[in-house]
Amino acid sequence: MRLGDKTIDESRQGEALIVDSNGKGKKLFLESYGCAMNFSDSEIIASILAEDGYSTTKEEKEADLILINTCSIREKAEERVRNRLNSFKKYKRHNPSLVVGMLGCMAERLKDKLLEEEKLVDLVVGPDAYRDLPGLIQKVEAGQKSVNVLLSREETYAEISPVRLDNSGVTAFISIMRGCDNMCSFCVVPFTRGRERSRDPQSIVAEAQDLYNKGYREVTLLGQNVDSYKWNIDKKGVVKDENKPVVRFAELLEMVAKVNPKLRVRFSTSHPKDMIDDVLYTIAKYDNLCKYIHLPVQSGSSSMLKRMNRGYTREWYMDRISAIKRIIPDCELSTDIIAGFCGETEEEHKDTLSLLDEVGFIMAYHFKYSERPRTLAERKYEDDIPEDVKAARLTEIIAIQRKQAASRTKTHVGRVLKVLVEGPSKKNPEEYCGRTTHNSMVIFPKEHAEAGMYVNVKTHDCTTNTLLGTITTQEAEA
């Protein structure tokens, strides 16, 4: 995930986020790999350590403390982190009091190896133990190795006010839940992040309100499976306190939408098995709930979905797509696809291609299957699809998806769309960029636009993923 990224973009797993601010006292260099959730965690970590006197630096050379917030989702992500940790050895030679720590999803599995065997780090802290960081760092400073990888059933960091590391000041992430109970057979997350738990809705609304007051105009609610958000009700549907309201995801969305009509709300990630019509009706009801749903399908084949333990069939998924198109007609969709999962036949792969054609996603993130330790798939199935077949299938997926993305983007050409301005475009500072409710990036001549402002843009052209237009006084249709 890149500094300044405005949306959740799971395909950027492995890209680093480097924290930058100028402070005094002890200096922290913090780098994040992986998903938006990890990025959001880094904002909590920065907050906990700011209380402890640390300011952040983007110069790794001048750091007293280097922390890497790691990702385990695919083998490649782990390799990158290892290389990065190796590259810090040179600073240790010059500055023996430098503390290097590994945080996040790789912590539990690789603690012994990286701490004891390879001695690449002094400190290992799992995703539920960040409150312990100050004490753990002190232990290292006193000459001991320091580890806390315990997962919690309760920790949500609810009342910690994150330090906003994305310095755009327009968009921000809000974590609404942690962990995952789904047990998809390919996925390491339940092992790295533990059991699912939801955060107090009042603290979520307060955070959204505070962001709005500070000038932010878009929040993205984050969780591994947001449709399963629940407060004051347990998994079996038993209400915990009869005197308090039950809040599920639809109600939470409504509460955040009501913070201010000028605060756009996005969310990620939805799970097809849990996405109910109530959520869709709520999205349809509020203009500021963005008309864009990321609904990972993983495969278009029901037999494959069964092996993946996804809890739905192709038909169920297509029914959810029909419901979205019926209830929110002007809504764009994106998805995640895994190519070459265990035992994938040519026919199963073709089912994925046909699903991509049938749905028409404006965006898809696609990955070659990467076997992860401890997962159901590792224990039960053979990772038997040769690398070249995985790569060839991925190429076919990309080709179809590119065509679909271009055709979906084209449907927005000639429209007047409400755009939340994010700032100058990367290529030309005279041009500005921002996103539509459908999450499409729009580029337009600056005129009076400023970051954080809404402007109506008439679009006249597009590339595969980007719209080009000019600011207009005409009223926006979406």
- For ligand SF4, the closer of residues 8 and 100 by Cβ is 8
Helices 314-327 & 277-285 angle (0-180, nearest 10):
20
Residue 177 interacts with ligand SF4 (CB under 6 A)? no
Do the beta carbons of residue 113 and residue 103 sit within 8 Å? no
Question: Residue 441's beta-bridge partner residues?
Answer: 435, 466
Give residues 157-216 in contact with ligand 5AD (rule: CB under 6 A). 186-187
Question: Residue 268's beta-bridge partner residues?
Answer: 222
- For ligand 5AD, the closer of residues 298 and 459 by Cβ is 298
- For ligand 5AD, the closer of residues 212 and 381 by Cβ is 381
Burial 284-309, CB ≥16 within 10 A → b, else e: beeebbbbbbbbbbbbbbbbbbebbb
Least spacing, CB of residue 15 vs ligand SF4, in Å: 12
Give residues 322-341 in contact with ligand 5AD (rule: CB under 6 A). 336, 338
Binding mask 61-80 for ligand 5AD (x = CB under 6 A): ------------xx------
Residue 151 interacts with ligand 5AD (CB under 6 A)? no
Residue nearest to ligand SF4 (CB): 34
* AA letter at 299: S
Residue 312 contact partner, candidates ligand SF4, ligand 5AD, none, CB within 5 to 8 A by sort of partner: none
Residue 115 interacts with ligand SF4 (CB under 6 A)? no
Least spacing, CB of residue 344 vs ligand 5AD, in Å: 12
Instruction: Report how far residue 280's alpha carbon sits from residue 293's, in angstroms, rounded to the nearest whole number.
Output: 10
Residue 321 interacts with ligand SF4 (CB under 6 A)? no
Least spacing, CB of residue 120 vs ligand SF4, in Å: 19
Give residues 7-36 in contact with ligand SF4 (rule: CB under 6 A). 13, 34-35
Residue 84 contact partner, candidates ligand SF4, ligand 5AD, none, CB within 5 to 8 A by sort of partner: none
Residue nearest to ligand 5AD (CB): 336
Give residues 358-387 in contact with ligand 5AD (rule: CB under 6 A). 367, 369-370, 372
Q: How far is CA 54 from the centre of its chain?
A: 26
Whole-number Cα distances in Å, 235 to 138, 201, 238, 384, 417 = 39, 17, 7, 36, 40
In the block, which residue shows the tokens 């299957």?
369
The residue from 7, 40, 42, 72 that contacts ligand SF4 (CB under 6 A) is 72
Do the beta carbons of residue 417 and residue 476 sit within 8 Å? yes
Instruction: Report how far residue 220's alpha carbon sits from residue 161's, in angstroms, rounded to the nearest whole number.
Output: 16
Nearest to 86 by CA among 107, 73, 100: 100
Residue 190 interacts with ligand SF4 (CB under 6 A)? no
The residue from 190, 272, 296, 434 that contacts ligand 5AD (CB under 6 A) is 296
Residue 372 contact partner, candidates ligand SF4, ligand 5AD, none, CB within 5 to 8 A by sort of partner: ligand 5AD
- For ligand 5AD, the closer of residues 383 and 431 by Cβ is 383
Instruction: Report how far residue 111's alpha carbon sits from residue 128's, in angstroms, rounded to the nearest whole number.
Output: 15
Residue 101 interacts with ligand SF4 (CB under 6 A)? no
Whole-number Cα distances in Å, 381 to 192, 252, 297, 384 = 21, 38, 20, 8
Residue 364 interacts with ligand SF4 (CB under 6 A)? no
Residue 65 interacts with ligand SF4 (CB under 6 A)? no
Instruction: Report how far residue 404's alpha carbon sits from residue 410's, in angstroms, rounded to the nearest whole number.
Output: 10
Do the beta carbons of residue 43 and residue 70 sit within 8 Å? no
Instruction: Report how far residue 307's alpha carbon sits from residue 344's, in angstroms, rounded to the nearest whole number.
Output: 10
Binding site for ligand SF4 (CB under 6 A): 13, 34-35, 37-38, 71-73, 104-105, 188-189, 192-193
Binding site for ligand 5AD (CB under 6 A): 10, 73-74, 186-187, 296, 298, 336, 338, 367, 369-370, 372
